[in-house]
Chains A and B, each alone.
Chain A
């Protein structure tokens, strides 16, 4: 990346932060793809090549709802997860394409939104507790990050992590290929207010800030109320940090084989205000959130995109 490109990328992030007030992230991609026919157990990232139109439609809807930072469809796009389906050879292709698709949609809107390269967990547990060696984890995340950067992302967003060692490996992997790219890092606090591995919000916040994340917080989990508590704790221990809150639309219930999320747009709008008041700056939705949810959140936060009728008057 040239110095000029580096500067441009950092500037986009800085520009976004300089505007006062909350920033609207996007909603879910995985659950939207399931709605569109993605099979259970199949990797969503493949649809960047197989059904790019579907992926772009979802992203376009979030842009129209008012999203100012969106994630590439690359959750599970690392060699470990793709390896389950023997697709580890397609990491570069799928991640690069995902970034290009999102950039195209962002540019087709007004070009102001940020493209965030989504890096999710390996799905494995790091040694010595598990079998994935730290160095191998770093290699896998570096591979994914390299492809996302090649596709032109503005920032990298490492999400849904449960283990601090893995978060560190992901950050190290990203830094190997992109020493200066702004990093957003969020963990999943779904087990009694901690992550599955027992990490508290306070410990997570300190660690992620210590590793140089530009924004930190929580995503996914058991629903808005629990994530609100996480934000409160993080804000108390790191009042200056840029906090991120991307909550599920509740815990899904399986009704007739379909995962149904109970929390509706109105409740997500209330959640958006609550986490904003608790100190969150970047606010969005994870699993179960649709463009309708994001629209309600945007309106509550005063970030809704105005809709202009053909004669130029605001609708």
Chain B
């Protein structure tokens, strides 16, 4: 290619912008090249992820919300991000990037929609969480088994159908009956959901997109840890 862009000639800012543009356009090979260039320059894997990739996906998320991008474009962007993540993931583990907690996430029984959930999983991973992705069509048993096995701080549930949303309540009740409800923070999301619904089913929060999910998860974990500290101090 005669007019191939030489990434080494770009400033850090220009490189970041190019990465954002290529993520937006779903150009996986280009994003991989950009990630490698960041690393070559001595950027930490963590910064490359959060400032390069996650920053770019935030813009995709906003334009998706505003009806400028549709599902196909979001999927392409997610694929490009995944390409970049594949390089960074082993390096993040190596360089001891901050591990904030564990999240179990899944789409509920009867629902097969997983684009949003997968975006949440990717961005939570990007933010330093270990993510256990249960995939689609998960009944209460599957969620409970995963909680018992992985001891997550966060349980995320996703649904796209108004007909499957109510099953979230079944799962929360099951968590309660198994004595697990207080051990986890339950976040719910999906197009037909809202805060009123989250309150009604006694979830901890409704998150309208992947970016909000990451912020909410971090915030609620911090609050919980503070509370636990104070309780211990009071007893101590």
Contact = CB atoms under 8 A, between A and B. Distances in A.
Interface of A: 30, 34, 40-42, 81, 84, 123-125, 129-130, 162, 191-192, 194, 196-198, 251-252, 254, 256-259
A97 to B, nearest CB: 22
Q: Max chain A CB contacts within 10 Å: which of B75, B163, B165, B200?
A: B163
B163 A34 contact: yes
B166 A197 contact: no
Interface of B: 67, 69-73, 75-76, 108-113, 136-137, 162-167, 169, 192, 197, 200
Contacts of B169: 257
A257 B200 contact: yes
Contacts of B164: 40-41
Contacts of B163: 30, 34, 40-41, 259
Contact of A197 (B71, B108, B110, B137): B71
Nearest to B112: A123
Contacts of A81: 112
Contacts of B162: 252, 254, 259
A128 to B, nearest CB: 9
Nearest to B193: A254
A252 B76 CA distance: 30
A129 B197 contact: no
Contacts of A196: 70-71
A50 to B, nearest CB: 16
Contacts of B200: 254, 256-257
Nearest to A196: B71
Contacts, number: 64
B interface: dominant SS: loop
Contacts of B112: 81, 84, 123-124
A251 B111 CA distance: 18
A283 B76 CA distance: 37
A198 B112 CA distance: 20
Contacts of A192: 67
Nearest to B110: A41
A84 B110 contact: yes
Given A129-B76, A256-B200, A41 B167 contact: yes
A76 to B, nearest CB: 10
A40 B72 contact: no
Contacts of B67: 191-192
Nearest to A43: B110
7 contacts: A40-B167, A162-B71, A191-B70, A196-B70, A198-B73, A254-B162, A259-B163
A84 B113 CA distance: 12
Nearest to B115: A125
Contacts of B76: 129
Given A254-B162, A254-B200, A41 B111 contact: yes
A34 B167 CA distance: 13
Contacts of A198: 69-73
A24 B64 CA distance: 36
B72 to A, nearest CB: 6
A198 B164 CA distance: 24
Nearest to B108: A41
A84 B111 CA distance: 9
A254 B109 contact: no
A122 B140 CA distance: 24
A277 B69 CA distance: 32
A310 to B, nearest CB: 41
A205 to B, nearest CB: 18
A81 B70 CA distance: 23
Given A41-B163, A259-B163, A252 B192 contact: yes
Given A41-B167, A251-B192, A257-B200, 6 more contacts: A30-B163, A41-B110, A123-B113, A129-B72, A162-B71, A254-B162
Contacts of A40: 109-110, 163-167
A41 B167 CA distance: 8
Nearest to A162: B71
Contacts of A162: 71
Contact of B166 (A42, A125, A194, A254): A254
A130 B79 CA distance: 10
